[in-house]
Amino acid sequence: MDKQGQEKFLNWILERVQAGKEDEAREILTENFRKQDEGTFSQEDIQAFVPKMISLLQAEKLGEVQAVVKQFSGQFESK
């Protein structure tokens, strides 16, 4: 994911996290983006990301976010 895509994803997720949890979500995503940029982002990172983010999301946005993350992780596996 390029920098522009990362920024769009970050903003999209931040709109769906619980009030007051934005900084924590931003930190998790920034770390994942750093690993992507370094080429060290792994399937294990994706698996760790999901439960962390689920705990931060608004309940009514959970299904929407899970669908997007699943699509992304599928693209990641095929690389």
Question: What DSSP line would sit under 37-54, residue for residue?
Answer: HHT---HHHHHHHHHHHH
Task: Compute the average pLDDT of residues 64-79.
Answer: 69
- What mean pLDDT is reported for the chain? 87
Task: Compute the average pLDDT of residues 18-41.
Answer: 94
Q: How confident is the model at residue 76 (pLDDT cuts 50, 70, 90)?
A: low
Q: What are the C-alpha distances in Å from 15 to residues 20, 25, 30?
A: 11, 11, 16
Say how many domains are in the chain. Answer: 1
* pLDDT for res 74: 64
Residue type, 41: F
pLDDT surpassing 90 at residue 28 = yes
Task: Compute the average pLDDT of residues 3-13.
Answer: 91
* pLDDT for res 79: 43
Determine how many CB atoms are found less than 10 A away from the CB of residue 10. 16
Q: Which domain holds residue 40?
A: 3-77
